[in-house]
Every structure is written in C-alpha cells, then in structure tokens.
C-alpha cells in the first residue's frame, strides 16, 4: 500500500458549490456538484474509493474549517483529518481551484451563446478537470504517466477522445419506435466519457439534460442555431456572465 495525502475544499463558480479534491504527488483532481455543504463529506469519502482500488492508502486529509464537523467520522475509518487554523487555507487545494477556475474562464469566453444554464457551467468545470488529469504533472510522481492513468488505469486516445470540441453542435439519437417522428435531436458536446469506445457526454437542446453516446453526428454550429440554444434554455436558470465567486469574496 502506498500512502497518499489529500487536500479537499468547497469550490464555488457562480454560487454553484462543488466539493473538490486533489492528491499530493499524484495531482489527481476530482470534483462533484453538491446541493449543500452538509453532504460534502460523504461525497469526499466516496471519491477516496478510487485510490483504494489502485492500491493507495489515504493517510491524511487536509481541509479548512468547513470540514471540522466531520473530523470524528473520518478518523473512525483510520484517516487523519488536519483542519487549518482560523482564516488559513490549504495551499495545495487553493492552487488547484485557481487553476480550474482559470480553465473554466478560458472555455467560457470561447462559447458563442448569449445565455448559459447552470448545467453548462457545471459541465465546463468537469471538462477542465478531466483534461488536467489527462496530462503528466510537472511535479508528479512519474514523468510520463498522467494522474488519470495512475488512478484509473485508463488512457486517452486522440482519435477517439479529441474528436469533438466542447460546445460543438451535434445530432444525437433519442429513444424511438417505428413511427415517422424525429429520431435525433440537437445537442452540445460536453466532454469525453473516458471509456474505450470514445463516448461523449452531450447536453440536449430539447430537454437540457445530459446524456452519453458513443458518438454524435458532427454539425458546424451556424449562427442561426444560436437562437435555438437560447430558446431551449428559457425554462432553466441562465446567466449572462461568469463570476468566480465564493460565499465571501472573489477567489
């Protein structure tokens, strides 16, 4: 068993909370959308299972006061929870959050839409973390193996997983019968699922929900399609600008 230390925190993007985690030396990042901070501890513990499956033992978790309520629960499973002093932060996770937010901001400013539902912001963060894990870290434990390869054992194939850019317009299949109704619907490519088949996650422009497909029919996003995206998102909460806010101040 190889010992690993983790750093965990709550990240906010447009007031959307994520529990986010990274590991020392390996630099494998993980994030999960949460409805409230009370369940953040359970989600963090579920993410630890990925390390155990690859033969790593979590010895210590570094966090700030937001996780102090879970100290007894975490230490009962043999993990030391180190809580920082008041008004102090864990540098490793704060640096990783800053990197993720810069990537999200960069992707956001390349999107052609006038309105952005919360789901799209969430998937932008997932996309940024996915690709950060796919490349070897300059301070990592191995010069050529990526954090994703070390923790999940899976690799990325350029021909399969780089076929669609984030926000590319595609036509994806929907459940259908033998009627003459439409069998495809417009969707936006989000990020690779990471499986061997080269699947992608898409967000339907009809329902606004996510789906996973092996592939989609590529269609260049023409300007006339932009009003379609805007109209299909009217029933959900939308934003027009990206604010990298925490609860207290800009991060």
Among 142, 22, 16, 10, residue whose Cα is nearest residue 67 = 10
pLDDT over 70 at 248, yes or no: no
Would you state the pLDDT for residue 107? 92
- What's CA 83's distance to the chain center, in Å? 25
pLDDT over 50 at 134, yes or no: yes
Range of weakest confidence among 61-70, 143-152, 159-168, 225-234: 225-234
Among 205, 213, 212, 211, residue whose Cα is nearest residue 234 = 205
Would you state the pLDDT for residue 147? 93
Among 185, 201, 195, residue whose Cα is nearest residue 123 = 201
Give tens-digit pLDDT for 75-110: 888 888 899 888 888 999 999 999 999 999 999 888
Would you state the pLDDT for residue 86? 84
Checking DSSP bridges between strand 56-63 and strand 2-13, what pairing results, if any?
parallel
Confidence of residue 128 (pLDDT cuts 50, 70, 90): very high
Confidence of residue 250 (pLDDT cuts 50, 70, 90): very low
The 8-class DSSP code of residue 221 comes to: -
Domain ranges of the chain: 2-120, 158-239
Q: Phi first, then psi: what are they for 64, rounded to 5°?
A: -100, -170
Give tens-digit pLDDT for 167-218: 888 887 766 667 766 677 778 888 898 888 888 888 887 776 666 665 555 5
Q: What is the pTM of this model?
A: 0.84
Confidence of residue 155 (pLDDT cuts 50, 70, 90): confident
Would you state the pLDDT for residue 251? 37
pLDDT over 90, % of the chain = 25
Pairwise CA distance, residues 31 & 40, whole Å: 10
CATH 3.30.420.10 fits 2-120, yes or no: yes
Mean pLDDT of 108-121: 83
Mean pLDDT of 59-63: 91
Would you state the pLDDT for residue 160? 86
Mean pLDDT of 13-32: 91
């Amino acid at each position: 068993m190889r010992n690993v230390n983790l750093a965990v925190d709550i990240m906010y993007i447009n007031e959307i909370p994520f529990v986010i985690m990274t590991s020392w030396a390996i630099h494998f990042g993980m994030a999960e959308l949460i409805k409230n901070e009370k369940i953040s501890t359970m989600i963090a513990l579920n993410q630890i299972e990925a390390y155990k499956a690859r033969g790593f033992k979590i010895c210590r978790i570094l966090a700030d006061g937001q996780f102090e309520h879970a100290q007894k629960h975490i230490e009962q499973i043999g993990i030391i929870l180190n809580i920082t002093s008041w008004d102090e932060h864990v540098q490793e996770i704060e640096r990783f959050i800053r990197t993720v937010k810069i990537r999200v901001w960069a992707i956001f400013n390349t999107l052609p839409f006038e309105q952005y539902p919360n789901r799209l912001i969430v998937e932008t963060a997932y996309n940024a973390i996915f690709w950060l894990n796919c490349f070897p870290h300059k301070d990592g434990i191995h010069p050529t193996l990526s954090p994703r390869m070390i923790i999940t054992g899976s690799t990325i194939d350029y021909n399969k997983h780089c076929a669609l850019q984030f926000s590319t317009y595609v036509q994806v299949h929907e459940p259908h019968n033998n009627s003459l109704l439409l069998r495809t619907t417009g969707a936006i490519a989000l990020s690779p699922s990471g499986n061997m088949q080269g699947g992608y996650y898409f967000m339907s422009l009809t329902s606004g929900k996510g789906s996973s497909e092996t592939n989609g029919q590529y269609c260049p996003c023409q300007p006339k399609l932009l009003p379609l995206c805007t109209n299909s998102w009217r029933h959900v909460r939308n934003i027009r600008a990206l604010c990298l806010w925490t609860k207290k101040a800009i991060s």
